[in-house]
Structures are given as C-alpha cells and as structure tokens.
Amino acid sequence: MAQATPPDLAASAAAVEPLARSYPRGLRIEPHAHAWGQLLYAISGVMWVDTPHAALWVPPQRAVWLPPGLPHGIRVASDLQMRNLYLRPALAAEVGSALNVLEVTPLLRELLLARVAEGEAAGPYQQALDPLLVLELQRARPAGLQVPMPSDGDRRLRQLCEAVIRAPSQAISFEQHAEQAGASTRTLARLFQAELGLGFSEWRRQVQLAHATAERLQGVPVSRIAGELGYAPGSFSEMFRRALGVVPSAVGEPGCPIG
C-alpha cells in the first residue's frame, strides 16, 4: 500500500494548503489521519474512500469532506487526477465536523482548481479565494453514496466487506465470500446484524447502488452496469428504482434528485 504524502502541515503558516497528485488504478493508500481538515476531490477518475464506519464511492462530480483527525484510506478504482485542499483546524470548523460527500457545483469546481493551481502562495488573491471556498463548501449539497462499514473488531467481516467493494457482483455468492474470509455463513450473518444492523444481501445492495450511481454520473450505460453487477438490465433497473425512487437512466439528468 502507498503512503500519503501531504504538505508539511506542521510547518505551514497558511490557512489552506493545496495538493495535486496523480494515482494509478489499483493503488491503495493506507489509512492515516491529518490534524487539518481535508477536501478530497478528483477531476477525473473514481475512488473509494475508506473510513472507520463508512466507505464512500466518489466520482468526479463529488468531493469528500474529512474533518480533522478522521482516519481514512483510498482505493483507486480508475486513474485519478487529485486536487485536494487542507484547511487549518479553525477554518475546517467553519465547514463542519462531520464526514460528508458533497456535490461539486461548477463554481465550486473552478474555485478548487484555481486554488490548487495557485499553490502554496499566500498573497491577496489566495486570501480572497479561501473565504469564498469555505462559503461554497458550506452551501454544497450532501450527495450520499456512503456505505456503512464494520469496525476492525472481527477481521473476517471486514475482509468480506472489502472483497464485496472490490467486486460487488451478485454472481459471487455469500457462501463464496464467506469461504474466502475463512468463516461460516452463519457466523458472518450474525456479525452483519450485530455490526451493521442489516443482512448481507441488503448491505451488498447498498454497495451496488453506490457503484451504479457513480458509474451513471460518468455516463456509463445502464446495460453495462447491470452486467458488471450480475443483473439482467430490466431487473437491475427495477431494483434501482425500488431503492432510490428513480430509474438509473435518469441519474445525472436535470431535475433528477440523484446527481
């Protein structure tokens, strides 16, 4: 696993520190935490962001707000062009103390890109950008795509959940996942209820919905997504509609409540 290499925050006198990085598909950044708040945003590519209690599926139309001190890791699902911001704790408090997936409006996107392009300079232009960025982050609409994750108390359950996130197709049975995790289906079913309050099928459906929503936001055809997840197109569309109230083909369209 790779190690994150943020700016030297301890030595910084700035209110905001930008970071631009490129990461290849398949790379995983091990869990770590920062004393500052962090905004994770990719102008291209898709990532899973792992936190102690939730996994977040993040396409380019979304950003993740990580409050100070929150452990997080990253799984790169496709080549990423990252544009991140670190906010000093006092400034981060104005954005919020809760983990959040945020919708990136055109204005917020341009502000993020401009601020990262300016680098570590702290002149009048950057000082004017930073308060506007905070205001836009405060106004940003929460955008879901969070999947509950178990604690590390039982590594077998965590291992199974991570395997499903890597391959969410229903073509892989609970029994197959359980065998790979080294536990019985009975034990894992009990752990799902105790840790997450829902069964394996319902939890995997949440992973599939997050995956499918992110794919649709990038324009991937419904038929291709259905095939990846082990569904016939009609069955997949009906599952999606029952769960989220809209058909997957509508995601990303004007007026759609998702995307």
In what helix (H) or strand (E) does residue 161 lie, and over which residues does it extend? helix 155-166
List Cα–Cα distances, 94 to 83, 98, 138, 207, 247, in angstroms.
Answer: 21, 11, 8, 31, 36
Q: What is the CATH number of domain 9-146?
A: 2.60.120.280
Residues 6+ apart with CB under 8 A from 186: none
Helices 174-181, 200-217: axis angle to 10 degrees equals 100
- Write out the residue limits of the CATH 1.10.10.60 domain(s) in the chain: 150-250
pLDDT tens string, the chain, 259 residues long: the values are 555 566 778 888 888 999 999 999 889 898 899 999 999 998 988 888 989 888 888 887 789 999 999 999 998 888 889 999 999 999 999 999 999 999 899 999 999 999 999 887 767 888 888 999 999 999 998 876 688 888 877 899 999 998 999 899 999 999 999 999 999 999 999 999 999 988 999 999 999 998 898 888 888 999 999 999 999 999 999 999 888 888 999 887 777 766 5
Residues 6+ apart with CB under 8 A from 149: 50, 51, 52, 53, 54, 55, 158, 161, 196
The residue behind tokens 């960025």 is 133
- Write out the residue limits of the CATH 2.60.120.280 domain(s) in the chain: 9-146
Q: Is 252 left (phi over 0), alpha (psi -120 to 50) or beta?
A: left
Q: Tell me the pLDDT tens digit for each residue of 95-149.
A: 999 999 998 999 999 999 999 998 877 678 888 889 999 999 999 988 766 888 8
Domain 150-250 classified CATH 2.60.120.380? no
183 CB neighbour count, 10 Å cutoff:
20
Grouping H, G, I as helix, E, B as strand and the rest as coil, residue 169 is: coil
